[in-house]
Amino acid sequence: MLLDILDTFDVSKFRIRRQDPIARQQRVASVDVKQHRKTHDSIPQRVLLTLEEVPKWYDINPFILTGYRHQTNSLLGCLASWTYLHNESGNIYSHLIPAVAAIFGHRLLYNYLRTEYANLRDKDWTIISLQLWAALACMSTSTMYHTMICHSPKVKHNCLMYDYVGILAVMLGNFISGIYFGFYCEPRLRLTYWILVTSMSLATGVVMLNRRFHGPKWRRFRMNCFLLTGFFASAPMVHGTIRWGREFVRKTGVRYYLLEILCILIGCFFYERRLPERLFPGRFDIWWHSHTIWHVFVVLGVGMHLVGTLTALDYDYHYRSVCYA
């Protein structure tokens, strides 16, 4: 039976179709291109670049030799870099975590102050809240900048401008709160210092946002502008100390403001000298290079200022009842 079936089977009707090798290669190449585009748009390239491979517009540190991200041209690609290590990971998380803490801490601090100070005035809380939101603005814009550095030249530049604005915001927020509680019973003097400090901060902002002063050549100049603004704003603290003596220093949080200044100066030293990576190129590519250390000291400085503000609030609430009422 089987032999009869095979005898009647016409093999000539069935031909094996050979695939054109050129057409096959074209189809494979087309699939590879589509897959590459899909990967480029949605999934980050996790193969990091060395210093010699990064684009010229990239924000580089000559002593950080590896760990640079590919240009993504994608918001999702930049955000996805939060999930793997690169040389901006420390810079991102050193301000992202405090930013999240500031959001949740805002409400917790409000509840604590309302419980601790039954007659807390709304404008006192407004000043403290302003300080917290200014700190949040600084941490958020910094996180955004270090996340988006690898997007494209234009986006990187725009985010850098936001970063500068965030730095000025936290400086101005700290100045306003320190002057407010330090000169609690001196409204005219307080207003005068507010106007002077705000004017100085705005002038610094104009300089920082000017394209002429961008780039590595003006790096030290930009840092000195911020430091000059900070030292200028410390004039009210010196004035109060001369006028009211040690009592002013002890009761209005000046000692914490001095610690804040110390933190900023230490951070600036590491940032400007690019330590420790200058001494050990390549060893601190991912963690604890100078910019991350600078971020940590900025956070410590913000924390010191908040403690100083709360110290001054406690003194004003309990011992300046004449002008507090």
SS3 17: coil
DSSP characters over 129-164: HHHHHHHHHHHHHHHHHHHHTTT-HHHHHHHHHHHH
Beta-bridge mates of residue 49: 68
Is position 291 annotated in a ligand binding site? yes
Is position 295 annotated in a ligand binding site? yes
How far apart, in whole angstroms, are the C-alpha atoms of residue 298 and residue 141? Answer: 14
Name the amino acid, one letter, at 277: E
How far apart, in whole angstroms, are the C-alpha atoms of residue 92 and residue 75? Answer: 15
Q: Are 167 and 134 in contact (CB under 8 A)?
A: no
- Inter-axis angle of helices 89-116 and 122-148, to 10 degrees? 170
**Side-chain-facing half-sphere of 235: CA atoms under 13 Å:** 12
Q: Are 186 and 149 in contact (CB under 8 A)?
A: no
How far apart, in whole angstroms, are the C-alpha atoms of residue 85 and residue 63? Answer: 18
Joined together, the tokens standing for residue 19 give 């695939």
Spatial neighbors of 300 by CB under 8 A, at least 6 apart, are: 263
Closest C-alpha among 38, 134, 48, 55 to residue 89? 48
Q: Can you say which residues are annotated as belonging to the binding site for Zn(2+)?
A: 146, 291, 295
Q: Can you say which residues are annotated as belonging to the binding site?
A: 146, 291, 295
